Amino acid sequence: MCGMTDLPIAGLLTDLKQRGLLDTTLVIWGAEFGRLPMSQGGNGRDHNPHGFTMWFAGGGVKPGTVVGETDEMGLNAVGKRLHMRDFHATILQLLGLDQNRLWFLHNGRNEKLTDFGGNVIHEMLA
């Protein structure tokens, strides 16, 4: 499906840059889950919680930065492993919000998006 999104995403990023909005607009591409590099049932690829790709552009992100990697099969994260809470903490930082001060009342108790510990991915920040 990436081939179907390449041109529209390139158009969006080009348009934001031409209008001077890319510096202040955070663009995030990701999916609900990673995909296995193989199929176990023959009907498409299965979900993969052990390695997935996201990319960020604009809005205070350092261009061309790669953080983390998967093995040669694209199956498991290797090296520096990141949790979704780390991405949430980084997004909040880029939006000018402190994850440790952003609480909300849910079912009678205070909770926060990063739950019990997201770490800002400083390598991504411009």
Q: What is the pLDDT of residue 100?
A: 86
Q: Are residues 49 and 104 in the same domain?
A: no
Q: How far apart are CA 117 and CA 102, in angstroms?
A: 13
Q: Are residues 87 and 71 in the same domain?
A: no
Q: Are residues 97 and 70 in the same domain?
A: no
Answer for the pair 32, 46: CB distance below 8 angstroms, yes or no. Answer: no
Cα 19 to its chain centre, rounded Å, is: 24
What pLDDT digit, counting tens, does each position of 27-76 carry?
Answer: 999 876 667 766 666 666 677 778 878 899 999 999 999 998 888 877 88
User: What is the phi/psi pair of residue 65, to 5°?
Assistant: -90, 130
Cα torsion angle, 40, 42, 48, 52, sign: positive
Provide DSSP, 37-85: SS-SSSSSPPEETT----EEEETTBPTT----EE-TTS-SEESS---HH
Q: What is the pLDDT of residue 74?
A: 78
Q: What is the pLDDT of residue 44?
A: 67
Domain holding 86, by residue range, is 82-126
Q: Are residues 49 and 103 in the same domain?
A: no
Q: Are residues 12 and 47 in the same domain?
A: yes
Q: Are residues 12 and 64 in the same domain?
A: yes
Q: What is the pLDDT of residue 61?
A: 95
Q: Are residues 20 and 75 in the same domain?
A: yes
Q: Are residues 65 and 116 in the same domain?
A: no
Q: How far apart are CA 49 and CA 36, in angstroms?
A: 9
Q: Are residues 2 and 19 in the same domain?
A: yes
Domain boundary (47, 62, 81) is at 81
Question: What domain count does the chain have?
Answer: 2
Q: Are residues 100 and 42 in the same domain?
A: no
Q: Are residues 64 and 77 in the same domain?
A: yes
* 20 secondary structure, DSSP code: T
Answer for the pair 29, 6: CB distance below 8 angstroms, yes or no. Answer: no
Look up the pTM and report it.
0.80
Q: Are residues 14 and 73 in the same domain?
A: yes
